[in-house]
Amino acid sequence: MGLLPLLLRGAPKRFLRASGSYRSLYESNSRRRRHGTDAAAADQAVNSRADHRPDDQMLDFPGAKAAFTSRMEFISPNAAEAVPCFRILDDLGRALDGSDIPEVDSSLAVKMYHTMVRLQTFDSIFYEAQRQGRISFYLTNIGEEALNVASAAALTKDDVVFPQYREHGVLMWRGFTLDEFANQCFSNEAGHGKGRQMPIHYGSEKLNYFTISSPIATQLPHAVGAAYGLKMDRKNACAVTYFGDGGSSEGDFHAACNFAAVLEAPVLFVCRNNGYAISTPACEQYKGKHSIQLLAFVLTTSQYFFLFLNFDAPGDGIVVRGRGYGMTSIRVDGNDALAVFKAVSAARKLAVEQSKPVLIEAMTYRVGHHSTSDDSTKYRSGEEIAHWRSVRDPVLRFRRWLESNAWWSVEDEKELRGAARKEVISAMNQAEKKNKPPLSELFTDVYDTLPRNLLEQEATLRDTVSKNPPSLAPH
Amino acid sequence: MARDPTVCVIGEDVGHYGGSYKVTKGLAEKFGDLRVLDTPICENSFTGMGIGAAMTGLRTVVEGMNMGFLLLAYNQISNNAGMLHYTSGGQFKIPIVIRGPGGVGKQLGAEHSQRLESYFQSVPGLQMVACSTPYNAKGLMKAAIRSDNPVILYEHVLLYNLKERIPDEEYVLCLEEAELVRPGKDVTILTYSRMRHFVLQAAKTLVERGYDPEIIDIRSLKPFDLFTIGNSIKKTHKVLIVEECMRTGGIGASLRAAIVDNFWDFLDGRPECLSSQDVPTPYAATLEDATVVQPAQIVVKVEQMCQGLV
């Protein structure tokens, strides 16, 4: 924080002086009228001008088309104001004045709420299961339930989803059952992944949700590739990919955005800006000293003066990068289910109808630890976590809106929470009891058919296993 | 591309420019800019894009302008192309072909003279083939495109100018099969890509001197065609591998291990291997020639083997 006694800041300076370029165009047109289209005469007229204005000429390099200027002026790293954030409901779930509520009827709203609650319940129970040693790893979506579910509700089942790993709610919305979630987490033989991936790395071809791969942001180019295919087939569908504030630093983010814009691919880039990438806070993930200015009136013993105080805040996030790639973008309150629903619906329409990518930065907060391998109290305060978990809970916020429409009641809440808990625990117990995948699934799916070396390896392994009972898998 | 509308090509300058080695010349005019797609420069991302497109129903052919640049795509190739069919439980297949010119050229410098078959051979889930003649290039390319597995097809920078009469009609070669180039009985020489031509050149000298080498172009680098290779070794009892990879960790290293594991009882002596030096490929012509195997060395080695001197 710096104390800078300053002159009052003027209007933000613009790089191109609009009045200058209009004047020069008018002048060159009138020059042509005076001297006709004869090139020599025109040249002579130009050369005879005593004051040769560089502003009259247009930049015509292949790399850009703009007007020249004789004023050297660097572009500031920050705009005067941060990009505003779209929201419909306030923090207490009340519709803001003048907001345009999207068409969400009671059955859709209640279904969304059911999914959010189920997701929250599943997360808390399975997190505890890991703590008890029943599964080896888990990762929660706590704090991002509204973002998950509302964005999923705005898509169709034909839209292909390329998730990072904190989007279980999207899959839950599409119809993945609690049993299917649990089977994958327990890596038993009933899981779709056949026990090959670590917990929460779900995938479902049927539900157009592509299997999660741990490395960050690798799914972004995949989504562009899928969108490219959809564009060629002229399908009424788009690709949707999710990533975090940390994922936006990866090279794949840059190239996927660039590719999507250049190729005009129908893909939605949904950035879940939840403030943390494991322990790295957003202000260390990206730069841009965004100054928040306060006018302070200071009275000292002998004089009073106004001070402008500059506060360092994290740079203006991911949304501003959209323009750098030539992409439509929007910033939305990720904890406001209605705003997310509306923004994603509109973005989808634009993507599909105009075959263009859209960047959506959804501001939210990662209430849980990064995963069960993390203890976030080491880098943030317990008060901060508690605040966002309770007062800023997006599920509660949405519930308040439902209640204000008389679509939800205290009894409904009690019943749903109880039922969800029972269902999740039942799914967990069932999944835990099932067998792990058999040895025959160790070598399959590496290729489409088993090549000779893998057949040999399997034969050798079975031989070893049969001679060394019983700790290795028996079948 | 004419037979199957889902086949498309992605890479840098593959469109109207026709590709840096003109492999895709004329395709953009015929099939359009979308099916022969020019991309901005980011190998990791357009390979990722090709993987995403392949998972959603297209058969993508990704071109690395030089195979060496595909090192930038290693993340996508290893973690995604190689793994996703397995980790998804077989739900998503990746019928992608990754191809491009590689190998040691004529004074292209170290970064443009790499043998990526050496680095990728370990990645589970990938299949690798190397073409060496116009005939097998056409057949292997078709087979690779039709395969549902991710296939890396290695072309060689110095082989694009070869001319050969090949059938007009469609033919598809087997990806896992080696090619018997010259039958013989004295020694089995296993080779691939550009070294095949060096071996043939050496063979002329060897035949004049009365030797009878059996030459096999292994073509399939992963998995090895141990059936063809084994039958040959059972006949000759001697094997020499001639490769362009470095001595350490190359195809030759893996092939020697596979031969020892499988055909130990049929060998008269250890499997021999001629490889490139373990150095970045230098620019100066004399140094570059000394880095890779030359026909004269092949002649000397075969003579030594046949005379029992090694």
Domain end position, chosen among B107, B122, B156: B156
- Which residues of B198-286 form beta strands (DSSP E)? 213-217, 220-222, 239-246, 272-276
For residue B121, the SS3 value is: coil
Strand partners, B209: none
Active site residue A128: yes
> Which of B87, B115, B121, B120 lies closest to B102 in space, CA to CA?
B115
| pLDDT over 50 (residue B55) | yes
Q: Is the pTM of this model over 0.95?
A: no
For chain B, the residue count is 310
Separation of alpha carbons A192 and A10, rounded Å: 61
Q: Do both B140 and B230 map to the same domain?
A: no
Please tell me the predicted confidence (pLDDT) of residue A236. 95
- Please provide the average confidence, as pLDDT, over all residues in chain B: 94
Q: Which two tokens stand for residue A38?
A: 């004869």
Task: Verify that B109 and B29 share a domain, yes or no.
Answer: yes
Indicate whether B166 belongs to any domain.
no
Share of chain A above pLDDT 70, in %: 81
Asked if pLDDT for residue A395 goes beyond 60, the answer is: yes
pLDDT, tens digit (0-9, with 9 covering 90-100), for A298-356: 444 444 444 444 444 556 899 999 999 999 999 999 999 999 999 999 999 999 999 99
Provide the domain limits for residue B242.
179-307
Categorize the per-residue pLDDT at A3 as very low, low, confident or very high, splitting at 50, 70 and 90.
very low
Cα separation, A155 vs A152, in Å, equals: 5
Report, as an integer, the average pLDDT of A234-247: 95
Chain-chain contact of B84 with A213 (C-beta, under 8 angstroms): yes
| Window from A19-33, A74-88, A206-220, B27-41 with minimum mean pLDDT | A19-33
Handedness of CA B110, B114, B120, B121 (dihedral sign): negative
- The mean pLDDT of A276-286, rounded to a whole number, is 89
Identify whether the C-beta of residue A169 lies closer than 8 Å to the C-beta of residue A140.
Answer: no
Average pLDDT over residues A27-38: 47
Q: Residues with Cβ < 8 Å from A15, sequence gap 6 or more?
A: A69, A73, A75
| Confidence class for position A2, pLDDT limits 50, 70, 90 | very low
Residue A472 has pLDDT above 60, yes or no: no
Decide if B297 is inside a domain. Answer: yes
For the question of residue B112 being annotated catalytic, the response is yes
Catalytic-labelled residue, pool A128, A284, A415, A456: A128
Q: Tell me the shortest Cα–Cα distance from B241 to chain A, in angstroms.
A: 20
Instruction: Compute the distance between CA of residue A317 and CA of residue A249 in angstroms, rounded to an integer.
Output: 11
pLDDT by residue (tens digit) across B212-225? 999 999 999 999 99
CATH number assigned to the domain comprising residue B109: 3.40.50.970
pLDDT at A202: 95
Whether residues A221 and B49 touch (CB distance < 8 A) is answered with yes
What distance in Å separates the CA atoms of residue A423 and residue A179, rounded to the nearest whole number?
A: 9
pLDDT score, position A78: 84
Q: Which two tokens stand for residue A283?
A: 């202000």
Pair (B236, B151) in one structural domain: no
**Is B165 within the bounds of a domain?**
no
The two three-digit tokens of residue A71, written as one number: 């004023």
* Whether the Cβ atoms of residue A358 and residue A349 lie closer than 8 Å to each other: no
Indicate whether B237 belongs to any domain: yes
Task: Name the residue facing B88 among A193, A218, A448 (closest C-beta).
Answer: A193
Chain mean position to CA B70: 14
Q: Is the dihedral of CA A90, A94, A96, A100 positive or negative?
A: positive
| Chain-chain contact of A228 with B87 (C-beta, under 8 angstroms) | no
| Stretch B180-205: mean pLDDT | 97
Residues 6+ apart with CB under 8 A from A234: none
Tell me: do B146 and B184 sit in the same domain.
no
Same-domain check for residues B128 and B236? no
Mean pLDDT, range A10-39, rounded to an integer: 43
Contact: A447, B49; criterion CB under 8 Å: no
Q: Chain B 123-152, CB below 8 Å of chain A: which residues?
A: 124-125, 127, 147-149
* Residue, of A331 and A40, whose pLDDT is higher: A331
pLDDT, residue A21, reads 40
Q: How far is CA A409 from CA A110, A113, A416, A423, in A?
A: 11, 12, 11, 21
- If asked whether residues B152 and B12 sit together in one domain, one would say yes
Option in B34, B52, B87 nearest A225 (CB): B52
A340: Cβ–Cβ under 8 A, 6 or more apart, which residues?
Answer: A146, A147, A150, A151, A154, A332, A333, A334, A362
Which residue do the tokens 């990806």 mark? B175
User: Is the distance from CB of B73 to CB of B44 less than 8 angstroms?
Assistant: yes
Tokens of B289: 């020639």
Query: CATH number of the domain that B211 lies in?
Result: 3.40.50.920
Which residues does A470 contact at the CB level (< 8 Å), separation at least 6? Answer: none
Query: Does some domain include residue B173?
Result: no
Mutate to test the interface with B, among A263, A267, A325, A455 (most CBs of B within 10 A): A263
Distance in angstroms (rounded) separating the CA atoms of residues A179 and A187: 12
Considering the domain architecture, whether residues B44 and B103 belong to the same structural domain is answered as yes
pLDDT of res. B272: 97
Of A59-68, A273-282, B300-309, which range is least confident? A59-68
Query: Do you find a cis peptide bond into A215, omega within 30 degrees of 0?
Result: no
- Whether residues B220 and B142 share a domain: the answer is no
Tokens of B300: 């000397």
Mean predicted lDDT score pLDDT of chain A: 85
CA distances from A30 to A35, A43, A53, A416, B106 (A): 9, 14, 16, 75, 60
Category of B150 on φ-ψ map: left (φ > 0), alpha (ψ -120 to 50) or beta? beta
Count how many Cα atoms sit within 13 Å of the Cα of residue B9 in the half-sphere of its side chain.
29
Residues 248-307 of B with CB under 8 A from A: none
Which of A38-47, A74-83, A87-96, A261-270 bottoms out in mean pLDDT, i.e. has the lowest? Answer: A38-47
* Nearest alpha carbon to residue B102 among B142, B66, B127: B66
Question: How far is residue B302's CA from residue B308's CA, in Å, rounded to a whole number?
Answer: 10
Query: Is residue B174 one of the residues assigned to a domain?
Result: no
Categorize the per-residue pLDDT at A473 as very low, low, confident or very high, splitting at 50, 70 and 90: low
d(CA B251, CA A101): 63
Domain's final residue, options B156, B189, B207: B156
Q: Does position A15 have pLDDT exceeding 70, yes or no?
A: no
Q: From B105, B122, B156, give the residue that closes a domain.
A: B156
- The per-residue pLDDT for range B89-107, each reduced to its tens digit, is 999 999 999 999 999 999 8
Q: Which of A143-147, A423-427, A466-470, B56-60 has the lowest mean pLDDT?
A: A466-470
User: Is residue B5 predicted with pLDDT exceeding 50?
Assistant: yes
Q: Is the pLDDT of residue B297 over 90?
A: yes
From B53, B79, B85, residue closest to A229, measured CB to CB? B53
Q: How far is the C-alpha of A147 from the C-alpha of A270, rounded, in Å?
A: 10
Distances (CA, A) of A303 to A310, A410, B139: 22, 59, 89
User: Is residue B246 within 8 angstroms of chain A, CB to CB?
Assistant: no
Query: How many structural domains compose chain B?
Result: 2
What average pLDDT score do residues A61-82 get? Answer: 89
CA distance B218 to B226: 9
A139 closest CA partner among A317, A322, A315, A368: A368
Residue B121 in contact with partner chain A when CB distance is under 8 A: no
Are residues B73 and B214 both part of a single domain? no
Q: Is B171 within the bounds of a domain? A: no
Statement: residue A29 has pLDDT above 60: no
Judge whether A63 is closer than 8 Å to chain B, CB to CB: no
Of B37, B58, B89, the CB nearest to A193: B89
The proportion of chain B whose per-residue pLDDT surpasses 90, expressed as a percent, equals 87
A7-10 long-range Cβ contacts below 8 angstroms, 24+ apart: A9/A293, A9/A308
Looking at this protein, which amino acid is placed at residue A109?
A
Residue in chain A nearest B38 by alpha carbon: A263
SS3 B213: strand
**Pair type for strands B179-182 and B213-217:** antiparallel
- Alpha-carbon gap, residue B5 to B27, rounded angstroms: 13
pLDDT of the residue at B40: 83
What is the pLDDT at residue A453? 87
Q: Are residues B93 and B152 in the same domain?
A: yes
Q: What angle do CA A364, A368, A374 make, to 5 degrees?
A: 125
| pLDDT digit string, tens, across residues A111-134 | 999 999 999 999 999 999 999 999
Under DSSP, the state recorded for B84 is H
Look up residue B231 and give its amino acid: N
Name which residue leads in pLDDT, A163 or A473.
A163
Spatial strand order of the sheet with A304-313 comes to A2-4, A304-313, A290-299
Over residues B222-241, mean pLDDT:
97
Asked if residue B193 is part of any domain, the answer here is yes
From B98, B94, B93, B96, select the one nearest B70 (Cα to Cα).
B98
Q: Which residue, among B17, B96, B106, has the nearest Cα to B58 in the 3D structure? A: B96
How far apart, in whole angstroms, are the C-alpha atoms of residue A248 and residue A314? 14
Q: Please give the pLDDT value at position A420.
A: 97
Query: Under a CB-based contact definition with an 8 Å cutoff, are residues A88 and A336 in contact?
Result: yes
A102 touches chain B (CB under 8 A): no
Of A46-55, A146-155, B239-248, B281-290, minimum mean pLDDT range? A46-55
Distance CA A270, CA A244 (A): 8
Candidates A173, A167, A176, A172; CA nearest to A154 is: A173
Q: Are B133 and B202 members of one domain?
A: no
B222 and B123 in a single domain? The answer is no
Q: Which of A30, A136, A214, A426 is catalytic?
A: A214
